[in-house]
Every structure is written in C-alpha cells, then in structure tokens.
Copies of this chain bind each other. A is one copy, B any other.
Amino acid sequence: MITPKENNKLIYFMENDIAERDVTTELLEERECVAEIKAKEEATIAGLDEAELCFEYFGVQVKRLVEEGSRVREGATVMALKGSNKGILQAERTALNMMSRMSGVASLCAKARELAEGSNVRIALTRKTIPGFNEFDKKSAIIAGIDPHRFNLSDMVLLKDNHLKFFKSVKEAVRKAKKESSFSKKIEVEAKNKGKALKAAEECPDIIMLDNFSVRDAGQTIKEIRAMNKKVLIECSGGIDLNNLKSYIELKPDIVSLGFLTKSARGIDFSLNIK
C-alpha cells in the first residue's frame, strides 16, 4: 500500500532521475517488450510496491513473482514486466534503486529478527535513516518484521540527555511531559547510567532507554528496574550491531533498537533484463 505522500515522492524521484529528458532512450523506436528483474544476491525483498508504481506510471504491466518480505536466493526472478521499452527503461533505475535500498534494509533487519526469534524482545530501528527516504527505510523494516520506532519528532516524547540538561531533574522532566504532552503520545526517557535509569523509573514513564550501556550494566539495570516497576518498558540502544545483539536480547529487555540496521544496510543488487 502506497500512501499519497509516498506516491508523490516516487514520482519526484523519477523526475530527478529522468531530469530534462532520457537522451539515450529517445534514440529507440518504441516497441512492446517483456523484461525480468532478478536479484543478483540472496535477499529479503522489499520495495515491490514502489517499483510497481514506477513502472505503472509509464503504463508498464507488472507481475510480481515473489512477495514483499520473502527471502529469495541469488538469481531469483522477482518481477516480470510487459510494456513499452521506453517506459521500462525510463523507470528502471528509480525502481531498481528503490528495491536495492529497501531490500538492503529489509535483509539486515531480517537477520536481526532471526536473532530475536524465540524471545519476546522486539527489535527496532532508530531515526538514523536517510533524509527524505525515512518512510521507505521504516517500511522496509516493517516488511522484515522489525519495529519502526517513532517516525519523526511528532510521534512520541523522547527525553534524551540533551533535553534533560534543561530540567532540574528527570523527575521534573517526566512530570512536565506527563502534564503537558498529549495523552495520545508515549513518553520515553533516555538514561546514560544505572543511577539515572532508576531515577527515571521512579517517575513511571512509558519507556526507559538504556543508552550505550555495556551488556553487563544493562543486565543489572534491567533487573533493578523490573524489581521496582513492572510496567515500564525497557529499551536498550546505542552501539548495538549484529555481533552483540544476541547478548542484549538475552537480557530480556522489551526492545532493542539499532541505528545499525539503517546506517549499515548495503544495497542489494538487482538487474533488469529485456528479453
């Protein structure tokens, strides 16, 4: 499902790529043809909706051969196309770049999700996404079974260390947030060490983020928070990647979030071949 905002962005992306005119494609006679898109490496697929919109903009018919979120092997054909050679060639790069980045994020997310399988820990993104591409990064994560976390600054109250410096105490900050923020928003507090985390827990925010805690400190802190406050959700974040993710999951926080999943995602290679 493509939102109106995504729809407008995708057309703008093509406008950027085609620019004044496709000086190569205009040399061709227009002809009907068929084409296939293949994954050139193993991947968790995302971006099919987006690629489809690009091709359909030019009247090209699209048949999906795999579903969003499915795992495919190297060489798998993921999409079949039928339509004007000029349409296919003009949409090609935007469509493939969408699939490349989105499947790249989805593939890394899928690995993280696998590490969490069997646990009740939720793996989440952060807001460390590509500017202007944020909703597509988030969507790729969702497709791969990962929690998108907040989309933007309007979505949730998250009192980070830089915010807390302007309050007398975390107590004052959380109380102000509870009083002045909408009931419809959750309130999360970032803590830099166990002491601060426990202080925060006393004020019962919805979520406490243990930021940049070592596995050991995180473990101890989670235990102590659980002892005093059963309701608050605990999120581990900061410096986590696929190497140490498992250790954090084993501490059974509610959420582990990784900037790594978007920051370190590599694009997946796809190729489009006209037959």
Contact = CB atoms under 8 A, between A and B. Distances in A.
Contacts of A38: none
Contacts of A255: 183
Contacts of A117: none
Interface stretch (A9-17, A65-73, A219-227): A9-17
A237 interface: no
A159 to B, nearest CB: 6
B12 A132 contact: yes
B4 A153 contact: no
A182 B148 contact: yes
Interface in A60-98: 85-86, 88-90, 92-94, 96-98
Interface in A94-132: 94, 96-98, 100-101, 104, 122, 124, 127-132
Interface string A215-235: 000000000000000010101
A16 B85 contact: no
A207 B186 CA distance: 12
B157 A24 contact: yes
B22 A254 contact: no
Contacts of A147: 182-184
A274 B152 contact: no
A73 B148 CA distance: 32
A262 B254 contact: no
> Secondary structure of the A side of the interface?
mixed
A26 B18 CA distance: 23
Given A18-B154, A20-B5, A155-B155, A267 B263 contact: yes
Contacts of A199: none
Nearest to A180: B27
Contact of A152 (B10, B17, B133): B17
Contacts of A16: 131-132, 134, 152
Nearest to A104: B263
Contacts of A166: 28-29, 31, 85
Interface string A133-161: 11100110000000111111111111110
Most central of A129, A154, A160, A177 by chain B CB within 10 Å: A154
